Amino acid sequence: MERVVDLRSDTVTRPTPEMRRAMAEAEVGDDVYREDPTVRRLEELAAEKLGKEAGLFVTSGTMGNQVAVLTHTGRGDEVLVESSSHIFLFEAGGIALLSGAQPRPIPGRHGILDPEEVRRALRPPNIHYPPTSLLCVENTHNRGGGTVTTVQRMRELASVAHQAGLAVHLDGARIFNAAVALGVEAAELAGPADSVMFCLSKGLAAPVGSVLVGDREWIERARKWRKVLGGGLRQAGVLAAAGIVALEKMVDRLAEDHANARLLAEGLVEIPGISLDLDTVQTNIVIFDLDPSWMDASTFAGRLAELGVKCGAIGPQQIRMVTHKDVSREDVQYALGAVRRLARE
């Protein structure tokens, strides 16, 4: 069989045999009645890992983020977001559409927010201004190149927000990548935030699902919004079972994905026509630019796919490659070989 190395995203990971077994054997019930023991176990486990009181299983990261904004804000509020964050750029305008709130973008450095910039964006009460009620932080930061916000920075950001009466939501789709890269517990990164969404379906390799965590009363309000969005699931334990395996077995191995991303980036940076800032390669995402005199990103992605390597064209000249459990060290070498071949042609 011909080799295909799929570097488009860590969302392409397939469930492990242990996950499939757990799914087949899961004890289930109707989760809208709170009668699915497996969903309850996943929610408790997730809350415990993130150091929060309660959890809510949701179908996707997007649903988790949007339920969080709905629960934290009211119509006409302002939400501070990082300019290239997923919640602002890639959730189909959900903040405006669903919450009726206005996102206000603040540029970070490779996606990492500066507390002083956040402070500068805060405005005193005035008849002309919308009330600002929420700050959203993304860790790791996808478009920043998988960059990591440290525990200290997270505390500083939350302190600025809380002093001004804002709640803090953490889009921690890849929070465990950040925790592994920093060598800290995910709970430390989550601590300063009022709510956290993390994904089971990315590097942790579960087929479906994310979890939203926060304090008990807040999660009960979020549960209502999940129902409004059609996210009240029934025998969802078949999905949650894979999520439990993801949380218990798949976190530590993320270090391998980070080492593979590093290997990939160090190889790519040597190839003429590619410019890549190695400092941004902190976890499992590698983002680089192609010299316009060589070729554009969609041509590059198309030609590379013909050689069995899939990647994402995320801008006219920009490519994203993501490592994950279904990409081995040999696959990375193979991908580098394919890019070198393109560069020689």
Q: Return the residue nearest ligand TLP (CB atom).
A: 61
- State which H helix or E strand residue 37 sits in: helix 37-50
Is 203 or 237 the residue whose CB approaches ligand TLP more closely?
203
Q: How far is the CB of 35 from ligand TLP (least distance, A)?
A: 25
**Helices and strands in the chain, H and E counts:** 14, 13
- Separation between Cα atoms, residue 335 and residue 264, nearest integer Å: 8
Is 65 or 149 the residue whose CB approaches ligand TLP more closely?
65
- Separation between Cα atoms, residue 154 and residue 134, nearest integer Å: 15
Q: Which regions of the chain does DSSP assign to beta strands (E)?
A: 5-6, 54-58, 78-82, 102-106, 132-138, 167-171, 195-199, 210-214, 274-275, 285-290, 309-310, 312-313, 318-322
Is 130 or 143 the residue whose CB approaches ligand TLP more closely?
143
Our finding on whether 86 is near ligand TLP (CB under 6 A) is: yes
Our finding on whether 90 is near ligand TLP (CB under 6 A) is: yes
Is 90 or 294 the residue whose CB approaches ligand TLP more closely?
90
Q: Is 134 exposed, middle or buried (0-12, 13-18, 19+ CB in 10 A)?
A: buried
Our finding on whether 242 is near ligand TLP (CB under 6 A) is: no
Contacts of 153 (CB under 8 A, 6+ apart): 112, 113, 115
Our finding on whether 94 is near ligand TLP (CB under 6 A) is: no
Residues in the chain: 345
Is 54 or 87 the residue whose CB approaches ligand TLP more closely?
87
Looking at 54-62, 184-192, 222-230, 243-251, which segment touches ligand TLP (CB under 6 A)?
Answer: 54-62
Using CB under 6 A as the binding criterion, the count of chain residues that bind ligand TLP stands at 15
Written as one letter, the residue type at 49 is K
Among 13, 38, 60, 73, binds ligand TLP (CB under 6 A): 60
Cα 17 to Cα 1, 13, 21, 38, 254, distances in angstroms: 21, 12, 6, 18, 18
Our finding on whether 175 is near ligand TLP (CB under 6 A) is: no
Is 66 or 317 the residue whose CB approaches ligand TLP more closely?
66
Residues of span 180-209 touching ligand TLP by CB under 6 A:
199, 201
- Could you list the residues that contact ligand TLP (CB under 6 A)? 9, 11, 60-62, 65, 86, 90, 138, 142, 171, 173, 199, 201, 210
